[in-house]
C-alpha cells in the first residue's frame, strides 16, 4: 500500500531459485564376487575350451608387441649400467635447512622416475617372454601338423574346457600342440588336469610328454649288419702214408688184411690188439 495516494500495490511474487548441485553418477553394477573369482559355468565346468583359451593368451601377448618393441629398443640403446639409487638426504648433512628441503624434493622426484622406469622395464621383459612363448607355440604347431593332419580341425571343433594354469603349461611344453590334441580327444583327462593344482598339473603334463613322445617318435629303420664273409674250408693235406688202422675192439681182429698189409700197417694193427697179441 502506498502512503501517498492510498492505493494498494500487489507485491511481486518471488520465484525460488534452486542452488546448482553436482550430479551424482548412477551406481555401477558390481560384478558378483563369485562370478569374478571363477571361470566355471553353472555345472562346475571350465568355460573356455582348449583352443579359445590358448588364442586368448596369444591375443593378449600380441596386444603388447608394439610396446615391447619400443622398450626393447630402449634397452638395447642403453650402453651404460644403471646407476645405483641415491641415498635419501638427511638434515644432519646440510648446514642450510633450505638446501636440505630442496635436495629432499629432488630425491623424491628421482625416486618416482626410477620406480616408474623399473616397472616399465619389468613389463617389457615380461612381454618379451610372452612373445617368445607365442612364437615357440606357433612353431610347434607347424611341426605337429606334419604328423597330425587333422590337428587344426580337431582343435577348432573341440569344446573341451581347459583351465588357465593348464593352458599356460601347454604353451611351455615342447609337445604342447600334441597334448592339446590329446586332451581334445580325451575330455576325461582334461577334466582331471583342470582339477589339479598347478604343480600337480605340471607333473601330469610331464608324464603325458613322456608317453606321447614315445608314441609319436618315428622309429628308425633297422639295418642289418653286413654278413661277414665265410672263409673257405681248409683243403685236406695229402700224404703218402697209409690211413690209420681203426681197431674194432681190444683182443679182436682188425679189418686190415695182414697178409696184404705193409710193414707199417702190420705193426700198427698188432699194436692195436694190445697185450693179447704180445702174449701169443
What confidence score (pLDDT) does residue 242 get?
57
* pTM attached to this predicted model: 0.44
d(CA 62, CA 67) in angstroms, rounded, equals 10
The predicted pLDDT at position 226 comes to 53
Q: Are 178 and 212 in contact (CB under 8 A)?
A: yes
Q: Where are the domains of the chain?
A: 44-214
How confident is the model at residue 70, as a pLDDT?
67
The pLDDT value given to residue 127: 87
Cell of 70: 619400443
C-alpha cell at 272: 692195436
pLDDT score at 185:
93
Q: What is the reported pLDDT for 3?
A: 45
- Supply the pLDDT for residue 256: 61
The per-residue pLDDT for 7 is 45
Over its length of 280 residues, how does the chain's per-residue pLDDT go in tens digits? 444 444 444 444 444 444 444 444 444 444 444 444 455 667 665 565 666 667 777 676 667 676 666 666 666 655 555 567 778 888 888 888 888 899 999 999 889 998 999 899 898 888 888 888 889 999 999 999 999 999 999 999 989 999 999 999 999 999 999 999 999 999 999 999 999 999 999 999 999 999 888 755 444 444 455 556 666 666 655 555 555 555 554 445 546 666 666 767 767 777 776 655 544 5
Q: What's the Cα-to-Cα distance from 226 to each of 219, 222, 223, 229, rounded to whole Å?
A: 21, 12, 9, 9
Q: Would you state the pLDDT for residue 54?
A: 73
**pLDDT for the residue 130:** 84
Amino acid at each position: 500500500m502506498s502512503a501517498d495516494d492510498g492505493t494498494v500495490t500487489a507485491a511481486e511474487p518471488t520465484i525460488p531459485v534452486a542452488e546448482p548441485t553436482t550430479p551424482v553418477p548412477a551406481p555401477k553394477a558390481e560384478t558378483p564376487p563369485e562370478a569374478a573369482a571363477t571361470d566355471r559355468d553353472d555345472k562346475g565346468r571350465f568355460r573356455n575350451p582348449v583352443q579359445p583359451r590358448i588364442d586368448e593368451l596369444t591375443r593378449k601377448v600380441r596386444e603388447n608387441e608394439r610396446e615391447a618393441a619400443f622398450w626393447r629398443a630402449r634397452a638395447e640403446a642403453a650402453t651404460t649400467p644403471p646407476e645405483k639409487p641415491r641415498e635419501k638426504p638427511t638434515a644432519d648433512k646440510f648446514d642450510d635447512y633450505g638446501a636440505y628441503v630442496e635436495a629432499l624434493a629432488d630425491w623424491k622426484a628421482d625416486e618416482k622416475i626410477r620406480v616408474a622406469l623399473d616397472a616399465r622395464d619389468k613389463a617389457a621383459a615380461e612381454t618379451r617372454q610372452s612373445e617368445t612363448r607365442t612364437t615357440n607355440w606357433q612353431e610347434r604347431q607347424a611341426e605337429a601338423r606334419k604328423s597330425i593332419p587333422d590337428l587344426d580341425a580337431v582343435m577348432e571343433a573341440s569344446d573341451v574346457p581347459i583351465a588357465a594354469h593348464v593352458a599356460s603349461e601347454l604353451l611351455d611344453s615342447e609337445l604342447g600342440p600334441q597334448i592339446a590334441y590329446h586332451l581334445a580327444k580325451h575330455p576325461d583327462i582334461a577334466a582331471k588336469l583342470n582339477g589339479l593344482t598347478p604343480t600337480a598339473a605340471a607333473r601330469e603334463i610331464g608324464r603325458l610328454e613322456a608317453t606321447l613322445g614315445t608314441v609319436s617318435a618315428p622309429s628308425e629303420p633297422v639295418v642289418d649288419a653286413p654278413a661277414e664273409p665265410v672263409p673257405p674250408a681248409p683243403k685236406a693235406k695229402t700224404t703218402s702214408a697209409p690211413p690209420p688202422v681203426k681197431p674194432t675192439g681190444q683182443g679182436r681182429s682188425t679189418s686190415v688184411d695182414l697178409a696184404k698189409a705193409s710193414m707199417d700197417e702190420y705193426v700198427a694193427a698188432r699194436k692195436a690188439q694190445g697185450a693179447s697179441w704180445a702174449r701169443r
